[in-house]
Copies of this chain bind each other. A is one copy, B any other.
């Protein structure tokens, strides 16, 4: 039987994930059954939310099992097909395992068009990342032209798209990121009105107040923790906070504590709402259509950090927690 390189979850991380939590091995590639395709992995998405799946704490998606393959969003090429609508040479995306070669059911894959956009974009701005940005901002944030949008983790995959959509919708957009290089990129590449480097700023509450002279109407929160506390002091009456991620506390081994949000929400009649992109599954098709239109018009750029090589998937993932990525982190296999 044919075999393929495979990456397993070796052990559950305590706190920050380590390279030792992963194991490289080989696994069998079974024969194709009716409705299945044989796939060659082309691009692998690594995402902060995978940290949650590596724990066994109850969450919105099942935990990975120890000694079983890791999985994430992958774009792959069809090598052989026993599925009617997919043929050799087609490209597909789906939630697939960290294997160089694998068998998958055709119905669980989406065919992607390599002519409309680079393949890696289907893991980012035209995939779950773009939908997360678009649906979180519009469905929960309900922004109105002229309002101020604050984005934390703004140089990240979701954040950079959120900011660009904010500009398309006529908002004042302020980003928070962790280096001067990222801050410059937000303004010059992605059209943010202002950006703040939280690593060199001792008074984030004051810095946000200065960058948002009319206060914050919509806060797209990718980080949680201290930055979100500083945002809280700047929210406007009737503001909406979109809780998309809390990467600053994902590696905490104890329950993180923060300034109590309740008194702020009461004083400001303000809303906070968490979500995952699948909550809005009925809006995905329309969202991809809108995003693709903006993409083809050049209104959204997709910053990517592309690492190379199947062996480097775990390191690319670990790098997310060091802030090594600008925009969507993908690994080209």
Contact = CB atoms under 8 A, between A and B. Distances in A.
B271 A271 contact: yes
Contacts of A238: 279
B262 A260 contact: no
Nearest to A273: B271
A267 B60 contact: yes
Nearest to A274: B265
A250 B263 CA distance: 8
Nearest to A58: B267
A60 B264 CA distance: 10
Contact of A275 (B59, B269, B275, B276): B269
Contacts of A249: 260, 262-263
A273 B263 contact: no
A59 B267 CA distance: 6
Contacts of A260: 224-225, 246, 249, 255-258
Interface string A234-271: 00011000011110011000011111111111111111
Contact of A258 (B244, B246, B257): B257
B224 A262 contact: yes
Nearest to A140: B271
A147 interface: no
B225 A269 contact: no
B274 A262 contact: yes
Contact of A60 (B245, B259, B269): B269
A185 interface: no
Contacts of A225: 260
B259 A243 contact: no
A138 to B, nearest CB: 16
9 contacts: A246-B262, A246-B266, A256-B260, A257-B259, A258-B259, A258-B262, A267-B274, A270-B273, A271-B271
Interface of A: 59-60, 221, 224-225, 228, 237-238, 243-246, 249-250, 255-276, 279
